[in-house]
Amino acid sequence: MSAQHFAIYFSDSAFRLTDGEQALGEIGVEVARDGDILQLSGEDLPRFAVRLLAGDSVAAQARRLAEGAGRATPEGEALSRCDRCFVVEIEDFDEALDEINTMMEVQAALQDASGGVLFLSWNGHLSLPYAG
């Protein structure tokens, strides 16, 4: 996994990579499926690689994040139930920061579709889905 990535942790076992692919296709980025990886690109846009992970190791990582956030917090409570996540690797972090709106759209598309908790690797930030 790249040093700079973000993840969306969630618990809906019916939510598949194809659901993520559909959500991402709706925001106007090019989505190409390469086996179990979604490659996102576009003219003058940063490149992202999206994987869907599931199972005990994901649940353990989510519990560690929940403990760090505090299990009594809304984020910690939500994370404690998660056993799946989208991991989005960022090919060029500086470029992604220059195009921050695109990165935020990718985050929001996956988070809104899955109802998951966003985790940013570069600063440890956690956020719940937008509820407005």
Residue among 41, 33, 30, 4 nearest 16 (CA): 33
d(CA 132, CA 121): 25
Give the residue ranges of DSSP H helices in 70-132. 74-79, 93-98, 100-114
Residue with tokens 């939500």: 78
Residue 75, C-beta contacts closer than 8 angstroms, at least 6 positions apart: 66, 69, 117, 126, 127, 128
pLDDT at 63: 96
117 SS3 class: strand
pLDDT 10s digit of each residue in the chain, 132 long?
Answer: 446 999 999 999 999 999 999 999 999 899 999 999 999 988 878 899 999 999 999 999 999 999 998 888 999 999 999 999 999 999 999 999 998 999 999 999 999 999 999 999 999 999 998 876
pLDDT at 132: 64
pLDDT at 28: 87
Residue with tokens 């598949």: 16
Q: pTM for this one?
A: 0.93
DSSP calls for 22-66: HHHHTTT-EEEEETTEEEEE-TT---EEEEEEESHHHHHHHHHHH
81 SS3 class: coil
d(CA 70, CA 12): 22
d(CA 72, CA 4): 28
Query: Domains (ranges, CATH) in the chain?
Result: 5-127 (3.30.310)
